[in-house]
Structure 1
Amino acid sequence: MKRYLPIACLLLCAFQCGVDYDGPDVYFGPGESITRRDAQGRPNGPPDPDDWVSDATWSGEETHLLGLPYGAGLVPLNGSQQLATVSHTEAFPNPAPNGEATWRIQLSLAAPCPCLVQSVYVSRRYTFIDRSSDTLQAGDSRRVPLRTQAPGQLYRLYYLISNANGLLYKGHGDVRHAE
């Protein structure tokens, strides 16, 4: 029996490799779905009102991307937020020439810190590209490099700010690779 187990595993893997993805895609919204910014972070087009602001709720796929230990369970990601935690967040340049952009987040002076800032960067099929985390104090800012992989494609950065008491702020923003 033990001799057949590795062969069965290989056959199972071989059949699974050909299965098409049937899960949900990230919904980027209508229109261009990005907030255009130049290389210095200045707006240079109409903003996407859905990006770089607080998200009230996340879907099941989104909540599985970022889960933080909180006592015996996880931080409740669709709980109430302290919107004054973040003073500014953006990605620039956007669209990203050569596939390279920067995400910048700044906490407000009133943020109840120390704060853990986590982010997960994904493709349209919720495929993980990169993850980062850092502990920041009130008024601190952080820059994270973002790399896109294919011209014309959209990518999403999910970010979450928490402290020892739980969720403070969560949101997302979209980045397009310039064609």
Structure 2
Amino acid sequence: MKALFFGRISLFFCLLSGFALASSCSKKESDPVASDSVMDFGPGVGYSPRDASNRAIGTQDPTDWTLDNQWNAKEAELFKSLALNVNDRPIGTASMSGAYPNPATASVRLSWSTPEAAQHDFVIADQSYQAIIGNSSSTPSFGGSSTFNLSQNSAFKRGQVYRVYYIFHNGKTVYYKGHGDIKIAE
């Protein structure tokens, strides 16, 4: 009787341990290298609200407009035309001012600066990693701004959040890369 009791207890703990091990091995949704089919826009509202003068007007998303070390396969695919490894270790820095206004109505503006001249590429993608519009430079610069006209593209839906990916590079060398999220005003 005692052996049967301890056998059942042992079986119970083995099953419990196996379940705990299996669940700890799965990728979490917040893992930046996970290959989920729908992106996670981060905490809170999922974007950093800013007015038309680029002043913060609410809680800012700490994952926006910062360095991304690794991109998942779907993110890397957005920049396949660059013929460089977007997951190479970035060697520089950049200052991103964020997107403004955010939420955006007709257009959204991005401004940046880099201590070294670099080419830039931007892609705005939907939550399924489908590129909607992009912008790139063939001439290296120390900074600048880009304005995306959102009102002339029917792919942008009111009230939806989209991701802006950016990469600064010198030839095949990744200088800096990251993302930020924008919302289309309702």
TM-score of the aligned structures, taking structure 2 as reference length = 0.71
What's the CA shift string for 1:116-153, capped at 9, x where partnerless? 10011111112221011013322x31222152721211
Uncovered stretches (5+) of structure 1, i.e. residues with no partner: 1-22
User: Alpha carbons of 1:146 and 1:83: their partners in 2 closer, same or farther (altered >3 Å)?
Assistant: farther
For residues 112 and 140 of structure 2, what CA distance do their matches in structure 1 show?
9
For residues 130 and 171 of structure 2, what CA distance do their matches in structure 1 show?
29
For residues 163 and 83 of structure 1, what CA distance do their matches in structure 2 show?
10
Q: 1:53 aligns with which of 66, 70, 79?
A: 66
Q: 1:168 aligns with which of 167, 175, 180?
A: 175
Give 1:82's aligned residue. 91
Q: Determine if the alignment matches structure 1 residue 107 to structure 2 residue 130.
A: no
Aligned to 2:80, what secondary structure does the other structure show?
Answer: coil
The worse-fitting range, judged by mean Cα deviation, of 145-154 and 27-36 is 145-154
Give 1:15's aligned residue. none
User: Alpha carbons of 1:75 and 1:32: their partners in 2 closer, same or farther (altered >3 Å)?
Assistant: same
Give 2:56's aligned residue. 43
For residues 157 and 133 of structure 2, what CA distance do their matches in structure 1 show?
15
Residue identity (%): 30
Q: 1:122 aligns with which of 99, 115, 125?
A: 125
Amino acid at match of 1:30: P
For residues 130 and 142 of structure 1, what CA distance do their matches in structure 2 show?
16
For residues 130 and 175 of structure 2, what CA distance do their matches in structure 1 show?
25
Tell me how many residue pairs correspond in the alignment: 146
Give 2:76's aligned residue. 63
How far apart are 1:35 and its partner, in Å? 0.5
Aligned to 2:74, what secondary structure does the other structure show?
Answer: helix
Aligned to 2:76, what secondary structure does the other structure show?
Answer: helix
Q: 1:34 aligns with which of 47, 50, 56?
A: 47
Uncovered stretches (5+) of structure 2, i.e. residues with no partner: 1-35
Give 1:3's aligned residue. none
TM-score of the aligned structures, taking structure 1 as reference length = 0.74
How far apart are 1:50 and its partner, in Å? 0.5
For residues 131 and 154 of structure 1, what CA distance do their matches in structure 2 show?
16
Amino acid at match of 1:169: Y
